[in-house]
Amino acid sequence: GWGRDPGNTRFQPEPGLGPADLPRLTLRWAFAFPRTASAYGQPALVDGRIYAGSDAGFVYALDAATGCVHWSFQARAGVRTAMSVGPLPGHAGHRRAVYFGDASANVYALDADTGALLWSDHPEPHPLARITGSPTLHEGRLYVPVSSYEEAQGADPQYACCTFRGSVSAVDAATGAVIWKTYMITGDQ
């Protein structure tokens, strides 16, 4: 996962850099995200590749040493989540997948080596749903938090407010099938 451990501590117990190393750092390479204003989610570094998404909906696999693009993938909407990279259940060997969500509440699994789409699902049908929290992989399940941008509709007097209640879905990491889903607020929408 992207936060170093299931607790998302982001703490490095044995960092490779110390304060004395900082003056010696130099730029090795740079990557400009095409057709985009920004990149939001934290990239993931796994096996010499950097996986990152952009608000234009592109996900890239970059060579960590050179910055060269191995592959790119166009999602259906902007990508604001971090990339979760892990083993693909049910496949022998060293096959990995890149998991992420987009601003239209779609969740994806891509082959980490090729960028080929393995599966995609839409676990929340609300029209204003989106995935901005990073999907987390654990023991063959992908936990997908779903939020919305319903608050932006509050200025519209014709909008029937407060129909979204937030959810988390557990998804089979191998197939994309929703195993269970729970809402953050009880009751009907």
Give the confidence band of 168 by pLDDT, cuts at 50, 70, 90.
very high
Q: Is the pLDDT of residue 26 over 80?
A: yes
Q: Which strands, in side-by-side order, build the sheet including 96-101?
A: 84-87, 96-101, 107-111, 117-121
Total-model pTM: 0.89
pLDDT tens-digit readout, 79-104: 999 999 998 877 666 789 999 999 99
Report the pLDDT averaged over residues 155-173: 88
Residue 153: alpha-carbon gap to chain centroid: 25
Mind listing the pLDDT tens digit for each residue in 50-60? 999 999 999 99
1 pLDDT exceeds 60? no
Give me the pLDDT at residue 129, please: 92
CA–CA gap between residue 15 and residue 25 (Å, rounded): 15
Report pLDDT digits (tens) over 29-67. 999 888 776 788 889 999 999 999 999 999 999 999 999
Task: Report whether pLDDT(189) > 60.
Answer: no
pLDDT of residue 46: 92
Q: What is the pLDDT of residue 114?
A: 95
pLDDT for position 2: 59
